[in-house]
């Protein structure tokens, strides 16, 4: 159950930090798109930003959560490289596909296929983690050397997790018109 808790922590830490950062950025982008009027109290973006941005440190600072999540991802890849098996959280089961099929986006049709886009994200996570493992070996297992990479891995893992769940929900959608729009939004998110 310890491995299950690690997986749950990696998922929630990655999702919390990434989603709250993205939301804060979105609120600020909306404010900026209104020009000088974005600062007006009538626009509401200033208050919305002030009310939301605290989420980036509430219940765990995003930087620390993302660093820990990235570290867990690297540790999972290390264990997978050593044994060829994925232990604990099923959220890392993708490592088998990422290693075996390493997606390369080489055509326009690849950019339209959600499964290919998702595999590309998985492959990127795997490759970045492998580079981190190499950097750790070169620097006496100094995790501080790869701080930026751990942050990136956390964001990539959150994006892959969201896209993976999104694809699963799209496949359950019965209305073809709604499904088409959800697929378009998922592509926009993935790219």
CA–CA dist 126, 102 (Å, integer): 9
Report pLDDT for 54.
Answer: 80
Report pLDDT for 87.
Answer: 72
Report pLDDT for 56.
Answer: 81
Report pLDDT for 104.
Answer: 67
pTM, rounded to two decimals: 0.86
Q: What is the block-wise mean pLDDT of the chain (191 residues), using blocks of 10 residues? A: 79 92 90 82 80 79 92 92 76 75 68 87 91 95 95 95 93 92 92 83
């Amino acid at each position: 159950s310890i491995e299950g808790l690690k997986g749950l922590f990696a998922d929630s830490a990655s999702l919390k930090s990434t989603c709250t950062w993205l939301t804060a950025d979105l609120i600020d982008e909306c404010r900026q798109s209104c020009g000088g009027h974005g600062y007006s109290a009538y626009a509401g973006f200033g208050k919305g930003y002030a009310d939301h941005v605290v989420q980036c440190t509430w219940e765990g600072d995003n930087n620390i959560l993302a660093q820990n999540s990235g570290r867990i991802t690297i540790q999972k890849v290390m264990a997978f490289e050593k044994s060829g098996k994925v232990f604990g959280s099923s959220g890392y089961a993708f490592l088998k596909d990422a290693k075996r099929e390493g997606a390369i986006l080489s055509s326009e049709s690849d950019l339209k296929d959600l499964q290919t886009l998702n595999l590309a994200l998985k492959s990127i996570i795997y490759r970045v983690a492998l580079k981190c493992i190499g950097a750790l070996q070169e620097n006496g297992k100094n995790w501080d050397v790869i701080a930026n990479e751990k942050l990136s891995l956390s964001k990539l893992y959150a994006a892959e997790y969201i896209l993976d769940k999104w694809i699963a929900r799209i496949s359950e959608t019965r209305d073809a018109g709604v499904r088409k729009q959800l697929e378009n939004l998922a592509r926009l998110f993935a790219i």
